[in-house]
Amino acid sequence: MSNRLVCICNMVSEQEIINELKKGALDATDIQYATRAGTSCGKCLMTIDQIIEEYQATQPQDQQGKLNF
């Protein structure tokens, strides 16, 4: 994780996005609502999606949600 600026228009850093993911944000829409990142010009949306994918890949999978028949 770094403190690089992801959304220049709204001055949102990667760390701010990670913090929102830790609070429960699930997708780019949640990030946009919480931080306004990606709501102006939209050029950072692909980067936001990449950050979300990388973060979710590092999280343990919820085994409760899986049903074995």
CATH number at residue 23: 1.10.10.1100
In-domain check, residue 23: yes
Q: What is the tally of structural domains in the chain? A: 1
Q: What is the pTM of this model?
A: 0.83
In-domain check, residue 69: no
Cα separation, 3 vs 6, whole angstroms? 9
In-domain check, residue 33: yes
In-domain check, residue 19: yes
What pLDDT score was predicted for residue 65? 57
What residues contact 63, with CB distance under 8 A and at least 6 apart?
none
Residue-wise pLDDT for 4-62, tens only, equals 999 999 999 999 999 999 999 999 999 999 999 999 999 999 999 999 999 999 988 76
Residue-range definition of the domain harbouring residue 42: 5-57
In-domain check, residue 10: yes
